[in-house]
Amino acid sequence: MQFFRQTLKDQTPLYVFVAVLFLVGVLFGALMVNALSLEQQQDMARHLNHFFISVQDSGETMMQSSYWSIAGLHLKWIGLIWILGLSVIGLPGILILDFLKGVLIGFTVGYLVGQYSWTGLLFALVSIAPQNLVIIPMLMMCSVAAISFSLYIIRNRFLMHRGGSMVRPLASYALITLCMVVLALSISSFETWVTPAMMQWVTPMLL
């Protein structure tokens, strides 16, 4: 526990930077909604209506069967960040992923609110907000750990302490990522069994 506290304290500037980058992505995604043409808005509205109908009509068994697809998506995101953090050239890719995550959330929420007003906001609150309250900090921790390890490689392999041991930093990096994997598997359970039930409660207001 002391290790995690000290790590969090040392990496506070990186957390601030990643959080700001994510928020800029959210804002950019929300602004993208206004750039959609009328035809694009109509196409998206049709797809959303079909989605709402499928959510309303789908049974509990269908929702439960999607656990591994949901967990797999989170694990792929974590895995990609992990791989990018193992190399210096992967550093910009980590930042791009954080920005892209913000864009996706900002666009989705912005479109729902713009298209469906307060009912769209309610749907976003039950379908997007709960799990992302955990997923976003989780991905931020993965990103900061990856950035820190990448910066360690730059400092100790290319700048000054050439030949320094990589075992302890790599073990710390792997431990943090493993903890985030366990957390991702846990939140996927909520997203599989609880979120669909809340979505089914809201979708009649949108149809």
Residue 166, pLDDT score: 79
Residue 49, pLDDT score: 86
Domain membership flag for residue 170: yes
> Which distant-in-sequence residues (6+ apart) come within 8 Å of 137 by Cβ?
none
Domain membership flag for residue 74: yes
pTM, two decimals, is 0.88
User: Number of structural domains, the chain?
Assistant: 1
In whole angstroms, what is the distance from residue 155 CA to residue 164 CA? 10
What is the mean pLDDT, run by run of 10 residues, along the chain of 207 residues? 62 93 96 89 88 73 70 94 91 95 96 92 93 94 94 76 73 92 94 87 83
Residue 139, pLDDT score: 95
In whole angstroms, what is the distance from residue 207 CA to residue 204 CA? 5
Domain membership flag for residue 101: yes
Domain membership flag for residue 60: yes
Domain membership flag for residue 174: yes
Residue 71, pLDDT score: 92
Q: CA–CA distance from 27 to each of 19, 31, 69 (Å)? A: 12, 6, 28
Domain membership flag for residue 127: yes
Write the DSSP assignment of 5-44 as a string of letters: HHHHHHTHHHHHHHHHHHHHHHHHHHHHGGG--HHHHHHH
Q: How is residue 195 written in tokens?
A: 């979120």
Q: How is residue 85 written in tokens?
A: 């953090």
Domain membership flag for residue 4: no
Domain membership flag for residue 199: yes
Structural domain of 177: 12-205
8 Å CB contact between 137 and 78: no
